[in-house]
């Protein structure tokens, strides 16, 4: 922290960092720090202190944080997306798919995936819808999916799409992300 050249303030806690590392690993935080005068901490709103610390820990160590709950994973994904920490966002997305995606929350996570450009999560939620349609449609998040004609069209296309073109070759546009 003696050589740090920027300080952030989150929920009353301060976190020191180095602009060079932020430039390499977290573009948006670097943008916040670019004009930093070195005196007053830069306030960061709309993120919990623990989540911000997890982002900085990842930037400095590349150790993936333990995500024990779906809410922790979502919070980290949203914050990593906001601060353009792409590799951490992808990690959080993969944890959500592997550990927390179930038919009862697939609709909710589909909306999240759509709003944060999470291709892996979106594809996994669509597959969950195809294999567990009635459970997904009975979940609390389904009303949000119903409000999006674009998401409904994607679901319809995923159910009805024919992956072979007339020559029998698989179309690249229809290939899975996983």
Q: In this predicted model, what pLDDT tens digit does every residue of 28-47 receive, in sequence order?
A: 999 989 887 777 899 999 99
Instruction: Give the other-Cβ count within 10 Å of 70's Cβ.
Output: 17
Q: Quick check: 163 pLDDT over 90?
A: no
- State the chain's mean pLDDT as an integer: 89
Q: How far is it, in rounded angstroms, from Cα 63 to Cα 78?
A: 18
pTM of the model: 0.84
Secondary structure class of 22 (helix, strand, coil) = helix
Q: How far is it, in rounded angstroms, from Cα 36 to Cα 55?
A: 20
Q: Quick check: 171 pLDDT over 80?
A: no
The answer for residues whose C-beta is within 8 angstroms of residue 123's C-beta and 6 or more apart is 176, 177, 178
Mean pLDDT of 7-17: 93
Mean pLDDT of 56-69: 94
**What Rg value do the Cα atoms of the chain yield, rounded?**
20
The residue with greater pLDDT, 174 or 87, is 87
Mean pLDDT of 7-20: 92
Q: Quick check: 147 pLDDT over 60?
A: yes
Exposure string (b/e) for 151-167, b if CB count within 10 Å is 16 or more? beebbeeeeeeeeeeee
> Which residue, 40, 38, 34, is CA-closest to 9?
40
Q: Quick check: 92 pLDDT over 70?
A: yes
Q: Quick check: 77 pLDDT over 50?
A: yes
Mean pLDDT of 48-70: 95
Q: Quick check: 91 pLDDT over 60?
A: yes
> Which residue, 43, 34, 35, 47, is CA-closest to 14?
43
């Amino acid at each position: 922290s003696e050589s740090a050249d920027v300080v952030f303030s989150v929920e009353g806690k301060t976190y020191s960092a180095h602009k060079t590392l932020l430039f390499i690993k977290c573009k948006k935080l670097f943008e916040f720090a670019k004009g930093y005068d070195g005196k007053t901490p830069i306030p960061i709103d709309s993120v919990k202190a623990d989540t911000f610390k997890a982002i900085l820990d990842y930037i400095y160590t590349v150790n993936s944080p333990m995500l024990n709950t779906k809410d922790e994973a979502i919070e980290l994904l949203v914050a990593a997306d906001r601060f353009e920490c792409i590799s951490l966002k992808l990690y959080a997305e993969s944890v959500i798919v592997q550990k927390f995606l179930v038919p009862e929350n697939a609709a909710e996570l589909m909306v999240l995936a759509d709003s944060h450009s999470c291709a892996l999560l979106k594809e996994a939620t669509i597959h969950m819808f195809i294999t567990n349609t009635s459970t997904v449609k009975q979940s609390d998040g389904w009303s949000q999916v119903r409000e999006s004609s674009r998401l409904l069209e994607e679901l319809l296309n995923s159910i009805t799409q024919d992956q072979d073109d007339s020559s029998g070759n698989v179309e690249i546009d229809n290939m899975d992300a996983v």
